[in-house]
């Protein structure tokens, strides 16, 4: 695993995450995940057991677990994905039989609008 310096005064904590080229962990945490180039995990966000493709932007205070998120998807601040499968299905996300939430690259603004899981 390659160590990635944080860009803020807070410490980013990558733990067993695979990453390539530029990944910005702005004091967020990524555990047992694959983060593609140009992924941004903002402050206080937690990404676990997930695959994030190129250009994904995870907002502050998000909690993402067991998810595959396609290119250039912007996850709004405070969004919770992968912690409640029924809630994820109600928002229109595809959840596999194994419990993995899949978010395709698309205009997801309507799916996230007012539905952050809190």
Report yes or no on 67 lying in a domain: yes
What pLDDT shows up at residue 105?
82
Report yes or no on 7 lying in a domain: no
Report yes or no on 17 lying in a domain: yes
Cα 90 to Cα 20, 62, 73, 111, 117: the distances in Å are: 33, 18, 19, 9, 11
Report yes or no on 54 lying in a domain: yes
Is the pLDDT assigned to residue 54 strictly greater than 50? yes
Q: What's the DSSP call for residue 111?
A: H
Kind and range of the H or E run holding 87: helix 85-90
- pTM value > 0.75: no
Indicate the SS3 state at residue 42.
Answer: coil
Output 12-16 pairs: Cβ under 8 A, ≥24 positions apart: 12/41
Report yes or no on 94 lying in a domain: yes
Number of domains in the chain: 1
Confidence class of residue 16 from pLDDT cuts 50, 70 and 90?
A: low
Report yes or no on 31 lying in a domain: yes
CATH number at residue 93: 2.160.10.10
Q: What's the DSSP call for residue 76?
A: P
> What is the domain range of residue 82?
13-109
């Amino acid at each position: 695993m390659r160590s990635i310096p944080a860009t803020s005064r807070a410490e980013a904590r990558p733990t067993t995450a695979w990453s390539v080229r530029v990944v910005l962990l702005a004091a967020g945490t990524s555990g047992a995940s694959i983060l593609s180039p140009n992924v941004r995990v903002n402050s206080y966000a937690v990404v676990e057991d997930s695959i994030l493709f190129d250009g994904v932007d995870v907002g502050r205070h998000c909690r993402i677990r067991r998810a595959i998120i396609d290119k250039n998807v912007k996850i709004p601040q405070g969004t919770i994905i992968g912690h409640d499968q029924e809630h994820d299905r109600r928002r229109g996300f595809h959840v596999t039989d194994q419990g993995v939430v899949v978010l395709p690259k698309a205009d997801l603004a309507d799916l996230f609008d007012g539905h952050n899981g809190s």
